[in-house]
Every structure is written in C-alpha cells, then in structure tokens.
Structure 1
Amino acid sequence: MNERTKSPRAGWLPKWLAPRGLARTRIGVVTDSAACLPAHLLDSEDFACLGIPIIVDNHVHGEDLNALMMGLAMGKPVKTSRPAPGEFTRVYRALAAAGCESIISIHLSGQLSGTVEAARLAAEGIEVPVKVIDSRTVAMPQGFAVADVLAARDAGAPLEMLEQIARSATQNSVYFAVPSLEQLRRGGRISTISSVVGNLLNVKPILSIADGAIHPIEKPRSFARAQARLVALGAQAATEAQGPVRIGVMHFGAAELATEIANELAPLSEQQVSIESLPAVLAAHTGIGVLAVAVAPLNPQSEPEEQLPS
C-alpha cells in the first residue's frame, strides 16, 4: 500500500538543477528489490530494479509474496539468494544499448547480502562506466536514496553528485520490531542462543541498521510495547534531524498496525507518511507481523566517499 502523494526528492533538486539548454548525459540507475520502492518509481526512465529471489522449501519463487506467506505459515524453510552476476550484466548492457553513457548501481548492505558483490563482478565487463554503491543499509532508507538519485538525475545532476546522494543513505534511520527471532536465526542473522533466549523470554526485539549490519537496540517484552517504542524511536530520529524529514512505515501482514504508526508520526513528516509492504527478500528474514519505521532527512549532509572498490 502506497500513501505517498508527493515525491520525497525535493531536498536535492535546488542544488543540482541543470542550467537550461545544456545537453544532459544519460545515466542509468539500478537497484534491487530490498530498496522497498513504491510502485510508481519502478517505471522510471533508464532504471532497473533487480529482484532478489526467495527460496521456500528448496524451491525458487522469485519475489512471490503469496508463496512466502504460505511457507512461513507452514513453518517451511525460507531462504534468499543474491541475483547472479549474469543478471546484472544483462541489465547493465540493456541500459548501455538504450543509450546510457554511465550507470550507477545502488544496493543493500554488503554485510546483509552478496548482491553488491555480484553487481561489482558484473560491472567489470560493461562497455560503459558502472559505479556500484553499497548503501550500507536496506529497505526504505535505501529506497529513499534511490528516489533522490532518480530525481537528481532527471534534473541534470552529474554522476559525481549522484554518488554523493546515494552514499547519504547511511544518514537514514530504520527500526524494525520483529514478532520472533526465529526467521533471523534461520537466515544466519543472529545466533541460535540469542534466538532461544529471546523466544523463552517472549522478547519482541527492536533492531536497527548501523555500519551496514543488524544491531538489536531494545528488547520489549510484548509486541504492543515494541510498537510504542517504534513510534518513540521514529519521533526521536525526526526531532534530532537537522531540518525536515520524510517518514515511511513498513510491514508484512500487519497493515492496520502500520497505519496506526503512520498516523502517529504524520505530524513530524514534511510529506505524507508512506506505507509499504516489505519486499519478499526482507520479509523472508523478519517473518509475518514485522513492523518498521524509516526516517530520512530531506537535506542530508555531505558524506565522505567510502573506501570500497567501484
């Protein structure tokens, strides 16, 4: 469900508007489905979003949310797999053939998935320059940065500025409340001991992303308390930001609770709070009933370039 009525991109546009009359270089933009993008952005020009497949009971289901929901409900093993480098090669070559003179490829944290490494492998054999960016985050924080890149690209910003915008994803906050640690344990995101102890104590942990990895930050004893803490953490992030923010709420199988959170946080958001269902690749690890809040500055500060291979 998407409730955004205005684009969340305006913060970058005044800086990078191209002078009228200048020819604009065509730049392709690529991301992956972990970005949790709203549907209207998926049809952007010179843009591709690669799906990260889910595997339910050893059967590959692409991004089939129904198969995922049934698999989770029946307790079947659920995993995810990075896109093959060949998939990136196909997309990069298609953008180059369509006239793109360079490409920027923005992906979920390399500490959570091998997707960004697959992109880098594919980029080495492409006839146009491909800049691969590890966003060091996931979900809406990644998606907000991708949306800003698309807007700035369409306004005429050069590749160097798009890189800077993409790297600003690390300034976006995200908090997840998961009803159970079991799926994270199965996916190797937490230890077996943490999962067992958490379930025995009825802990409904709140997790965040820092330095590209998942970190537990609080351990409420009930999901009602976890929901309240999500609102409080989102409000805190919004008030501590230097300037206006946009806020998004994510869920998987918890649309009513997500709407409640969005309504509570609406006064703090410069734009209407967006509500999105988590993509399959993330829901596969968090399980049914997960809730999340993302907060992103509309005017992020400059970030130093990361010391990673392009």
Structure 2
Amino acid sequence: MISLVGTTALVTDSTAHLQPGVVEACGVTVVPLQVVIDDDVHDEGSEAATPERVAAALREKRAVSTSRPAPAVFSELYERLAAEGADSILSVHLSAEVSGTFESALVASRTAPVPVTCVDTRQVGVATGYAVESASAVLASGGSVEEAAAAARERSSSATSLFYVNTLEYLRRGGRVGAAAAVFGGVLAVKPLLGIVDGVIVPRAKVRTAAKAIAQLEAMAVEAAGEQPVEVCVAHLAAEDRALALAERLGEQLGELVVPGRDGSPVRCLELGGVLGAHVGPGMLAICVAPVPPSPAGS
C-alpha cells in the first residue's frame, strides 16, 4: 500500500523513470505501460521487458511495439486509492502527443469516486519525473491539488529534453516521425538531434557524424542550463559508456549549477526503459535539463 501525501494520492506512469527511493519517499503510484515483443505483452520494468531485452529484439528486427494502459486500469486504481483514504487524486503523465496514456487517465477520471486532476506534462521520460517530484513537494508542504498540478506543468514546461538517435527508423515505425524524414536521414547519413517542443518530437539539428552529434548535444544542454540551478539527467539505450562519459563532462562543465540527485551524483545517468527505448533504438542518448524551482512555502 502506498502511503498517501495528506489526502491526495499522486499517480504517474512508468515512463517517468522515477527512482525507487523517490517512489517510496513521495508516495507515488506508478502505472506501467506495456512493451509488445512479437505477440507477447509485458509490463515495463518486468524481467521480460528489460532495456537489454528490448534492445536485443530491435537489433534482431523482431516486431517490437508499445501499448498504453487501458482506461479500466486507471479506473481500478482510482477506486482503490479512494478506498485507501484518498479524497483527491493527481495523475501526472507523459505527453498526449506521443502516447494515449493521458487520454486513458482522463477517461477514467470522469467516473472516479473522488475528484481526479490529470496533467499532461507535454514531456517524456525524466522531464515527466521531475514534474511529479515538484507536484509531490507542493503537496507535502500543504499545497492544494491545483497548486501541485500547476507546479508540475511549470516544471515540465521549463525543462529541456534533447536526444540523439543512430537512426530515425524506430521513430518512423512507431509513427513518431514521418516516413519522408526517416528516409531523408538515412539517405544522407544524417545523425539527427531531436527535442520535445509542446509535447511533440521535433528536429533540432542534423549532424554528419556521431561524434559531432554528441558534442552538439552536450553544447545544447549546457546552453539550456544557462546560469540557473538545474537538475540534469543523461539517459541511454545500450550505450552506457557513452552516457557515463557524457554525464561526467556535463557535470564538469556545469559545476555548481547542478543540483545533485538523490543518489549523490551531480548528473544522474540511467538506461531508458523498454517503452521509450522501443521507439528510439539502441545507441540513443538523451539529456534532460530541468531548472530547479524555489522550495514551496512551508517546506
């Protein structure tokens, strides 16, 4: 049983990549999305859908897709949380532009036994996780659900999400970029740099080599940080050495501007989960730069 924050239950999905310690400390209920490998459906985070298994399936050109939680999953969860004592629920999720998860939560909210506020962060991955943490901080300080939802939206809108992929093919297969863009990138051997703008994946730059692309990704992240305190996370799929080196360089460049994560590292480094990994493919590197908001009043 999750211990509720006051009388408000906080919900998110598995793509937020919250650390286990954060899930427990913030009292968050995490709803898994699914990875489908061939005809087998697995919850993200299960042994059958680890990042390693997903990356291997992609390399083997097996059929890999993803699936959102059905509205019934959220309905059952909201009913359970209400039965456990919640008199309101805040449900914070990845961009509705790239997943139907928010829509499922919204549909379920209409028949929930207690008021449910659904937040579309217009972000993916760790940026959504940072939004959840900001919402939790507001609730823990005695803030209202509306204030916590506003904090989540503000945190996600201020975050910068950047990523490099070896190929656009996996994004094309999942319908996240057009076929013409994917063909263009393949024909010209372009190494694309992408970002999230208002919930949509958009091109940020086209670079000829992987080394130059990663260098530009790093420079863009430093520029996004500016002169303000930030939390920074590097994510990867089957590219741990590159990711660790990138995280170390960012930590050195940003210095005291970086607010260390709960694990004590200046720049958090993680392997992307199976759901997002299925759409970007092995070799992907991502950086999230999130300005740190002031502490909520009363905290």
Could you state the TM-score of these two structures normalised by the residue count of structure 2? 0.88
Which 5+ residue runs of structure 2 have no aligned equivalent?
261-265, 295-299
| CA distance in 1: counterparts of 2:222 and 2:210, whole angstroms | 18
What residue is the counterpart of 1:269 in the other structure? Answer: 258
What residue is the counterpart of 1:247 in the other structure? Answer: 232
Which 5+ residue runs of structure 1 have no aligned equivalent?
1-23, 301-310
| CA distance in 1: counterparts of 2:134 and 2:26, whole angstroms | 14
| CA distance in 1: counterparts of 2:146 and 2:177, whole angstroms | 36
- Does residue 132 of structure 1 match 2:118? yes
| Shift, 1:43, TM fit | 2.4
- 152, 165, 170: which one aligns with 1:166: 152
- Does residue 27 of structure 1 match 2:8? yes
Pairs within 5 Å for 1:1-310: 25-44=6-25, 46-63=27-44, 64-65=49-50, 66-168=52-154, 169-239=156-226, 243-266=228-251, 267=255, 268-271=257-260, 272-299=266-293
Q: Secondary structure at the match of 1:99?
A: coil
| CA distance in 2: counterparts of 1:189 and 1:42, whole angstroms | 29
Q: 1:257-305: CA deviations, max 9, x gaps?
A: 11111111112413221112112110000001100011111127xxxxx
Is residue 6–residue 139 contact of structure 2 (8 Å, CA) maintained in 1? Answer: no
Choose 213-222 or 150-159, whichever is displaced more. Answer: 150-159
Amino acid aligned to 2:159: N
Amino acid aligned to 1:87: V
Q: Secondary structure at the match of 2:43?
A: coil
Is residue 254–residue 289 contact of structure 1 (8 Å, CA) maintained in 2? Answer: yes
| CA distance in 2: counterparts of 1:156 and 1:299, whole angstroms | 17
Q: Secondary structure at the match of 1:161?
A: helix
Choose 126-135 or 24-33, whichever is displaced more. Answer: 24-33
After superposition, the Cα gap between the structure-2 partners of 1:136 and 1:238, relative to the gap in structure 1 and judged at 3 Å, is same
Identity of aligned residues (%): 38
RMSD: 1.7
| CA distance in 1: counterparts of 2:102 and 2:142, whole angstroms | 26
| CA distance in 2: counterparts of 1:189 and 1:175, whole angstroms | 15
Q: Secondary structure at the match of 1:43?
A: helix
| Shift, 1:46, TM fit | 4.1
Amino acid aligned to 1:33: S
| CA distance in 2: counterparts of 1:27 and 1:73, whole angstroms | 43
Is residue 61–residue 67 contact of structure 1 (8 Å, CA) maintained in 2? Answer: no
| Shift, 1:154, TM fit | 2.1
Q: 1:54-96: CA deviations, max 9, x gaps?
A: 1112321222124312211211121111100111112111211
Q: Which has the higher contact order (CA 8 A, sep 6+)?
A: 1
Amino acid aligned to 2:12: T
